Amino acid sequence: IHLMKKISLLVLSLCCMLGMSAQTTNLAYFPFTNNVAAPSTPTSYTAEAGTQATTAGLYLDGTHGSSAWLQASELTANSGSTINATTGTGAGKDLAMINSSANGKSFVFHFATTGYQNIVLTMAARRTSTGFNASAWEYSTDGTTFTALTGLSTMPSAASTYELATLDLTSITAVNEQANVYLRCTLTGASSDNGSYRIDNVQINAVP
């Protein structure tokens, strides 16, 4: 009986440990709640929540492997979405990348995964019919050498409707346990100056 109790306690302890290890942690959250429209749209942002609030960043300024986006003509803000928003976060504003002049330009998320694995990025995403229609993602751990994430996309399937977009990196072990991770997205396919690709409520989550 005592042996059975010990075995039961061991099994219970293991189950608790496994359950704890599977809990997801939010590393960074970018809601763009108070973003501003062109020509004053920022070209860089820091996470507003998560364990890396104020340290994780989003770059469209030519640093961290990103392209230098033009504030006056290639970036703006519109009404946002509640898709993928955390509790208590309203729709607010979003971040819109616009204009066919920005075809081939990239934006980059930078964060750390020290102590974490199974990285997943989620966000609300929307495009217009003449906006960017393809997103090519890459990752890096040094900000210089990037590796393509083949087959992964965060481009909405239809125009003018917000959708939940997911970039699942759970199979990419190279981004686990890293002091620096860079996720770069290059946009193409825009055919007009007001065509856009819009993102909101970006979450970067991981498992301890």
Summarised one tens digit per residue, pLDDT across range 138-196 is 999 999 999 999 999 999 988 888 999 999 999 999 999 999 999 999 999 999 999 99
Amino acid, single-letter form, for residue 46: T
The pLDDT score that the predictor gives to residue 160 is 85
The pLDDT score that the predictor gives to residue 1 is 55
Whether the CA torsion 164, 167, 171, 177 is positive or negative: it is: negative
The pLDDT score that the predictor gives to residue 8 is 47
Q: What stretches in the chain show pLDDT beneath 50? A: 3-21
Look up residue 38 and give its DSSP letter: T
The pLDDT score that the predictor gives to residue 6 is 46
Half-sphere exposure (CA, 13 Å, Cβ side) for 12?
Answer: 6
Contacting residues for 84 by C-beta, under 8 A, at least 6 apart? 122, 123, 124, 164, 200, 201, 202, 203
The C-alpha atoms of residue 148 and residue 138 are separated, in whole angstroms, by 4
Contact (Cβ atoms closer than 8 angstroms) between residue 111 and residue 204: yes
The C-alpha atoms of residue 78 and residue 92 are separated, in whole angstroms, by 9
- Name the pTM for this structure: 0.89
The pLDDT score that the predictor gives to residue 22 is 67
